[in-house]
Each structure stands twice: as structure tokens, then as C-alpha cells.
Amino acid sequence: MRATRETDLDEACGGAISSTDLARAISLLQEELGRDILSCEVPQPRRANIWLVRGKQVEAIGLLKKEFPDLRLSGLTGQDLGDKLALYYHLRVGDPILTLCMEVPKEEPVVESITPVIPGADTHEREVYDLLGIFFRGHPDLRRLLLPDDAPEGFHPLRKEVEARTLRTMRTKPVLKPVITEERGPYMTLVIGPQHPALHEPERFIFKIDGEVVVDVDIRIGYAHRGIEEAAERRSYIHDVFLCERVCGICNVAHSLCYCLAVEELCGLEIPRRADYLRVVAAEINRLHSHMLILGVAAEEMGFTTLFMYIWRDREMVMDLMELLTGNRVISSFNRIGGVSRDITPSLISKIRERLPKLRERLNHYLEVFETDPTILARTKRVGLLSREDAIDLCATGPTLRASGVDFDVRRNDPYAAYEDLSTFRPIVREEGDSWARYVARLEECLVSVDLIDEALSELPPGPVRVRAPRRVRPGETISTVEAPRGELLYYIRSDGSDKPARLKIRTPTLTNLSPVRKMLEGVFVADIPVVLASIDPCFSCTDRAVFVDVGTGERWSCFLDEIGRKKP
């Protein structure tokens, strides 16, 4: 329901809203901005889009921030509409998402940055600048984030005038130089990355070190950017299920589920309840796999190789459960537009449920280890601190957000699939805000996942597991979010009525957790860097190499990342 006349705004923005937070946010903007609101639409009960006059986004977000102190930027979508550009600010106002939309002319693609209001928008704005060429005036450090540093000036690949199929390798000017800080004196530069064999998204961290203490850190991503958003626009909605599933191998269920939910909303499909329950089972097995993987890696980063081996041994039980449910151990290929790929038999249900008590026993044992082992406590307690205020301002998500005392989980606050029907779900929130809290929160979430799997299978309703979906999707746009293992995952899809999406935007949890990790690393010792980085679950492996540079002498030397972790301050 959309209104374009001021007299219709109240009717359009109030009729379909089920959230008091969303109604309060819209009412506030209508009262304070008046004619600066061009239109309003409510595509879903917990979603609303407001189109603003260009340049009013900072004022609007400032008003919302005063009314909703926990306001966070869930994502920033930029797109080329042909003759103009557009920006979509996806904001969490309490539980629902309010999207502020704004047109940007191509001949003058300049808008004000919202980082003074929401500092965590830093990385989001850099991404849009890099891929779409929109300049954010007032941004503290507006430079490329994904493309190479020596990419041609003015080249922005998501512009419609850029034809991806005609791009060819080109020789650029040799502008890249060794990364050495300009400071003189006691500082050194420590470079970690970008090569990460176990990660689909390599990242480079450049640390400024004062003796053994981290003073500052710069983060650079994009070394393995595969252009999935652009590729998705050239494939059908059905084929894109498998493409999105490969954004992240470990979180494949979350990505395919989030994508399918968005397409199903556009199609107006009603998904069978049995499929919803099976989606919960798959998602929670996927969460167990992801959490146990990073907990094992964290143990290795602390020098606790024995614990690493034990956790990864028991992770095999989780992969066996995924194979029983979906037929695959890692890439599940389980979710489909309209439901899931296959049903589960009573005998398979019994096999899965029979293995859960043993898994729960092992997880309780590892929780006890993390709570009592002196090595783990010494390496994680009061290390990598992130306050509740910083977690909100820097737009942290997932266990990183909840371990700093913010009680928000998409599964409860913006529910999907069958989570509303399951009584065993409870969000894990801790107040410590340190690396230990982030690790323990993941272990406690594993125990909740086991309970959810057991309840969903015991209460599995009868019926079909899939409905037929059309090849062509009716025109419209929608946002879908799920609680992936690393945090809130957001998909935005715009349809033009064809069998291919006109725009697909993916905001992964790691992207929005990069700003909080910079705050966590301030003031930690060099030896604590691997432990703090692993606590946000960026899937780093211990095979990275680090380069040290002595600024005073220019001397350079290297060592393995695990050697840094064992170096004592």
C-alpha cells in the first residue's frame, strides 16, 4: 500500500502496521518532517518504506535515534535505476525495519554521510561508494573497500553503464606500495592478511603497534569478491537459490533461507508448516556446525590444540545430522522457493533425535571447560572489550551484539519459519562484552539449538513440504532477514516482473561486524589479536602470515599467525 499525496500518508502508513515501534517511528517522521516525506508504503506488517526529499536522511535518522536509543543500521542498499541512483537505509527501530529511501541524481551523486549519527555506517557507505559511485560528504575515511586500490578512477561496477561481460583485464599504474605507517618513533605496522585459506572472504588488517599494544587498526576486504549480486541479476530466481547458497559455505542454510523468504514474500506464497519446521531444523544444525567450527579454531589460536581436536571431532556428529536431514554434509541444498527439497521419514527423525543427548553432553562439557579453564580465562576475560553503547553505535550483530548486553535476536524479535511456535527458544544475552562472553554465548546458543532441533522434530506437523512457485515474480521489492550463525543476515530484492531479479543486495554479518572489531582491538596486546579476531567469527585460520615493519629502520620480517598468538607480552 503506497501513498504519494500528503493527505493519504496517514492511511497508507497506518493500515497494515502491526508493530507499535514502527507506527511510532512513522508518526514521528510525519510530524517533524512533514512535506519532506514524498511517499510511504507498508509492504509487510513489520516493514515500511518512506521516501524522503534528498538530503533529509541525516535529520530523519537523528530524530529516530533520539526516539529509539538502540537504533541500528541493518544495511545500506544502493542501486542504479537507469536515469538516477537510489539509496535505501534499512534501520532497526525496535523489532521491525524502517527503510528510508532517497533518489540521488547521476550528474551529482553526493549525499551527506550518516556516520556522525550512526558511526557503524562507515563500512556500509564505503561499500556503496566503491560499487556505485555515490560520494558521502563528511565521511571520516571515504575510500575503496572492495575494488583494488589501483582500480581506474570513476569505475563503479554496479552502474548500469558498466557491462560486466565486456570487462577485461587491464594494466594499471603501479601505485601500490608496501603498507608502512607514516608515523615515526616507537610505532610499528603489523599486517595480517589478506590470504586466508579457510575463508571465502579474505581480509587484510593493518595494525599500528606501540610496543606490544595495538593503537589502531585498518580493515580492507574485497580480495575474493565474486560479484554475486551482479551475477544474480543474470540468472533466474530458481538458479539464484544455489548461487546465494555459495556466498558462505558454512552459513549456506541461512543464505538460501533468507533468499527464499524474500522471493516467497514477493510471490505471495504460503509455505507449508511442515516445511517451516524442517527449515528450523536445518538452520539450527547449520548454527551448530558454524559455532563448533569457530570454537575449535579459537582454542587453537589460544594454543589449546587438544581442545581444538576434541571440538572438531564432535563437530562430525553435527555434519552427520545434516547428512541425515538433507543428504549432504556441508552445502545442504535443502531450501527451495516454496519450501524444502525433500521430506524426512519417521526413521530418520528417530536417528537424529537419538544422537542429540550425546551432542548435548559434549557441549555441556565444553561449556564447563570455557568457564573454568585457566588458560582460556586468562586469554579471553576482559580482553577485546565492547561496551553496550559501542555495540549499538557500531551496528554489531549476532553473538557479538548479544554478548555486549543487547537483547536482540531476529528469531524472536522479527520471527520467520516456525520460531514463533517453538517454546524452547531463548536468546543468549551476556553483559561482559569481552572475548570470553562472545565464545561462551556461542556455546550456550549451541545448547539452545539442540533443544530447538529436538522440539521441532517432535512437534513436526503433517502435510506437504513444498508448494509450486511461479517462474516469474510479480513486480515489487522486499527485505528479508534471518539470524545466521554470525548474526543478522539481510537480503533486499527488487523485481521487475521477469524471471530474474532486477536488484539483489546481500548484507552479510561479517561486513557489519568489522566496525565493532576495530573498537575491540584498541589497547589489546599483540598476542591477543588472533583471539579477539576469532571472537567475532570471521573464519580466520591459523595459517595466515603476518608482516612486521619497524617504522624507524624499515626492517621487515614475517611469522605465522599462531606464533603471534603464543608470543607473550
154-209 pLDDT per residue, tens: 888 888 887 765 655 666 665 555 555 445 566 787 777 676 433 445 677 788 88
Predicted confidence (pLDDT) per residue in 197-236, tens digit = 334 456 777 888 888 888 888 888 877 777 788 889 889 9
pLDDT at position 16: 60
pLDDT at position 151: 79
Predicted confidence (pLDDT) per residue in 418-471, tens digit = 999 999 999 999 999 999 999 999 999 999 999 999 999 999 999 999 999 999
The tally of CA atoms less than 13 A away on the side-chain side of residue 103 is 12
Q: Is 112 left (phi over 0), alpha (psi -120 to 50) or beta?
A: beta
Report the mean per-residue pLDDT for the chain: 87
Query: What are φ and ψ of residue 217, in 5° steps?
Result: -145, 140
Angle formed by the axes of helices 273-301 and 252-267, nearest 10° = 150
Dist. CA 18–CA 14, nearest whole Å: 9
Predicted confidence (pLDDT) per residue in 274-286, tens digit = 999 999 999 999 9
Question: What is the C-alpha end-to-end distance of the chain, expressed in Å?
Answer: 61
Residue closest to 512 by CA, chosen among 539, 535, 538: 538
Over residues 466-481, mean pLDDT = 95
The tally of CA atoms less than 13 A away on the side-chain side of residue 195 is 7
For the chain, the residue count is 569
Residue closest to 547 by CA, chosen among 179, 53, 282: 179
For strands 110-112 and 135-137, give the pairing: parallel
Residue 541 has pLDDT above 60, yes or no: no
Predicted confidence (pLDDT) per residue in 311-357, tens digit = 999 999 999 999 999 999 889 999 999 999 999 999 999 999 999 99
Over residues 42-48, mean pLDDT = 90
Which stretch of 3-17, 79-93, 362-376 has the lowest confidence by average pLDDT? 3-17
Dist. CA 454–CA 100, nearest whole Å: 40
